[in-house]
Amino acid sequence: MNERKPRVLVTREVFDETLDYLRLHCEVIDNQKDQPYAPEALAQALAGCDGLMCALTDRVDAALLARAPRLKAVANIAVGYNNIDVPACTARGVMATNTPGVLDDSTADLAWALMLGTARRITEVERRIRAGEWTGWRLKQWLGVDVHHATLGIVGMGRIGQAIARRALGFEMKVLYHNRKRIAPELESKCNAAYVTLDELLAQSDFVVLQVPYSPETHHLIGAAQLKKMKPSAILINSTRGGVVDDSALVAALKQGTIRGAGLDVYENEPKLNPEFLGLDNVVLAPHIGSSTEATRKAMAMLAARNLVAALKGEVPPNLVNPDVRR
């Protein structure tokens, strides 16, 4: 007798190769039109499924899990998994996985693009050229600040934070970092980075780059009080998760000159962003594209698919975030 293939729901458009791989092992409900599921539609679509491949735009919580009695595994196409209620998954015996590692370098590159773009006012001057405002060379024209030899402060020194730090070697920067735990001395010397308190980092850095995961503990880690601790000449980069920064406080700080500028890839309540950002020249805005290169997004989707298939075969998936689920 033929065994039934597990049924999986893929909530967003993925690459053909990802679907081909999933279809070797599973019956797949895809969404190549990429219409995001509203919560009720997601619950209905997931009802008879054994597996879910989802993205940060999908909320996987206890209410959804209660309506998916057959569900065994949830594979997020992201390294961050704050969209998934992991304890609720564990309580229901559902494995949850993420996609660490494959996006570190691309995400670090984007943080650097925001640093350089903000320091040298790239999007502002491009807008001015397009508006016909460039009438010729002037000595004091649209002056930026140097990245080379400046002090870089990285908040969150996991794999991506370290990749950002390693890139600073070529720019001969002084690198400070703050992390829940100090990293191993050999990693500190590879990154040429010194551990400091958050307050020391805010006070001394010319560029503050946030790379902590979003959680109740990191909600509004950077608000009005922390922005005041930064140098007025400093630039803040958030390429991790909206909610780590209090966006209203940041708008006020950018308007009042509390800090010089900001480079942002993520926002509270994205894709809606605080409309006041749009009127500010001292902020560079990107639409959550940190990991968005073709190679990296393909690798993320394939890793999520492999995690899902492994879990549905009863194996331990490579990137299980709730190992307690198996006890």
**Active site positions, annotated:** 241, 270, 288
- Beta partners for residue 154, in sequence order: 177, 209
Write the DSSP symbol of residue 149.
Answer: T
Which is nearer to ligand DGY, 179 or 291 (by Cβ)?
A: 291
DSSP string of 231-260, one letter each residue: -TT-EEEE-S-TTSB-HHHHHHHHHHTSSS
Please tell me whether residue 79 binds ligand DGY under the rule CB under 6 A. Answer: yes
Walk across the sheet containing 174-178 and list its strands.
Answer: 193-195, 174-178, 151-155, 207-210, 235-238, 261-264, 283-285
Q: What would the x/- binding string for ligand DGY be over residues 137 to 156, using CB under 6 A?
A: --------------------
- The answer to whether 95 touches 244, Cβ cutoff 8 Å, is no
Q: How far apart are CA 51 and CA 2, in angstroms?
A: 20
Which is nearer to ligand DGY, 18 or 291 (by Cβ)?
A: 291
Contact with ligand DGY (CB under 6 A) among 22, 53, 78, 301: 78
Radius of gyration of the chain (CA): 22
CB 310 to ligand DGY: min, Å? 19
Helix (H) or strand (E) holding 208: strand 207-210
Q: How far apart are CA 13 and CA 302, in angstroms?
A: 13
| Residue carrying the six token digits 């670090």 | 108
Give backbone dihedrals phi and psi of 194, rounded to 5 degrees, phi first.
Answer: -110, 135
Which is nearer to ligand DGY, 80 or 117 (by Cβ)?
A: 80
Please tell me whether residue 291 binds ligand DGY under the rule CB under 6 A. Answer: yes
Contact with ligand DGY (CB under 6 A) among 6, 51, 80, 161: 80
Count of helix runs (H) and strand runs (E) in the chain: 12, 12
Q: How far apart are CA 183 and CA 58, in angstroms?
A: 32
Contact with ligand DGY (CB under 6 A) among 150, 290, 307, 310: 290
Which is nearer to ligand DGY, 272 or 327 (by Cβ)?
A: 272
Write the DSSP symbol of residue 120.
Answer: T
Which is nearer to ligand DGY, 56 or 191 (by Cβ)?
A: 56
CB 103 to ligand DGY: min, Å? 6
Please tell me whether residue 238 binds ligand DGY under the rule CB under 6 A. Answer: no
Nearest C-alpha neighbor of 304 from the set 49, 51, 41, 24: 51
Please tell me whether residue 108 binds ligand DGY under the rule CB under 6 A. Answer: no
CB 79 to ligand DGY: min, Å? 4
CB 229 to ligand DGY: min, Å? 27
Please tell me whether residue 162 binds ligand DGY under the rule CB under 6 A. Answer: no
SS3 at position 228: helix
Range in contact with ligand DGY (rule: CB under 6 A) among 73-81, 162-170, 190-198, 247-255: 73-81
CA trace torsion 81, 319, 43, 28 (10° rounding): 130
Please tell me whether residue 103 binds ligand DGY under the rule CB under 6 A. Answer: yes
Range in contact with ligand DGY (rule: CB under 6 A) among 14-22, 75-83, 111-119, 220-228: 75-83
Q: What would the x/- binding string for ligand DGY be over residues 29 to 68, using CB under 6 A?
A: ---------------------------x------------
Which is nearer to ligand DGY, 56 or 308 (by Cβ)?
A: 56
Which is nearer to ligand DGY, 56 or 221 (by Cβ)?
A: 56
Give backbone dihedrals phi and psi of 180, rounded to 5 degrees, phi first.
Answer: -55, -45
Which residues of the chain form contacts with ligand DGY (CB under 6 A)? Answer: 56, 78-80, 103, 290-291
